[in-house]
Structure 1
Amino acid sequence: MNSKHFTLILLLFATVVVKAADPAEGKKLFQARCASCHNVNKKLTGPALAGVEDRHSEAWILSFVKASQSMIKAGDKAALEVYNQNNQVAMPDHPDLDDDHIRDILAYIKEEAGKAPKDDAPFPRPGQTQPNLMPLTIYNMPFMIAYIMLVVVMIILLVFLVNLKSYEKHMEEKKHD
């Protein structure tokens, strides 16, 4: 019976100490605190946050969110790099966020990053396509000549149709006279 009490107390203690990160709570916090400068998948004022847990350790992220300016002033190499890569725009410190809140935000970021479309589409994305422009050379000269000839033929046809209409109008006037 003593071991049952001990197990129950240990289980309760573990439940209190180890709280799983909550992406839903993280979304609320992200939208309230982070979304004005950050996006999960694209750079805004601050960097895109997808994969941030791969670029930095959790302990570093926790410290940076709470006191980024202190880390920059202290000369933290990674903090200075982030600061300089983002046009030296200072991230406000968030000392009121505890570690669990920041972990919730990280869980939300990880969840959102997983929803992003992969780059393995069967066709290039519009922003990644480059036009295949070829300057005028001997190889595309026949196309250019054919194009110019088509434009000339269309102009001649239009002039002919205008003159035909003018001729018809002139003939109508002669009939009435």
Structure 2
Amino acid sequence: MDLIFIRHGQGQHTLEPPNSLHIKDPSLTNEGIDQAKLLRKNIPLSDTDLVVISPIRRTLQTAFIWSEGIRCKKIVSPMVSPRMFPQKKEWKTLPCDVIMDRKEIKNEFPDFIIEKNSTNDLWIQGINSTSEDEFKTIGKRFIQWCKLQSKEKIYVVSHDGTITSYRQLLSNQTFTRKDFPKEAGWVNLRC
């Protein structure tokens, strides 16, 4: 099975760091919208595809724009929510990475399915500041869930740190921030 991790398009929170990282619930920029539209050409979806999406506005918008007009299954899961990379236990979740409320997601993205197998704590806190051991447990559970979907490939719209954390988990290699995918870039991982 292939997991194709796609980083969301450019978000408002990336325009003027570090101050812009304190924007709560940032949307895609016009550039990010164009990047999401370009995904339609670069990675065309079909009605039989499965897309798993982080519960953050910019990832939801990326998936919505990319899959517009395609009746593929879209599942929102906190197991692919933002993750700090590298992990520093003294760091706290920034306002730009706070998970959206499930009711708000359902209201704004009614065609998306809210994943129900994760704990309420995971839906509130996500994986941003979980320890490496906790992430490995959650990550392995996510990979197992993906394998149960009986798909040759699953698309995951997520974040640079999350994607890099899953790359490390699946490859047993060490990566750095230099290995982050670019906005609307993708990484194919074989499981």
Does TM, scored on the shorter chain, surpass 0.5?
no
Higher relative contact order (CA 8 A, sep 6+): 2
TM-score, length-scaled by structure 2:
0.25
TM-score, length-scaled by structure 1:
0.26
| Structure whose CA Rg is larger | 1
* Structure with higher helix content: 1
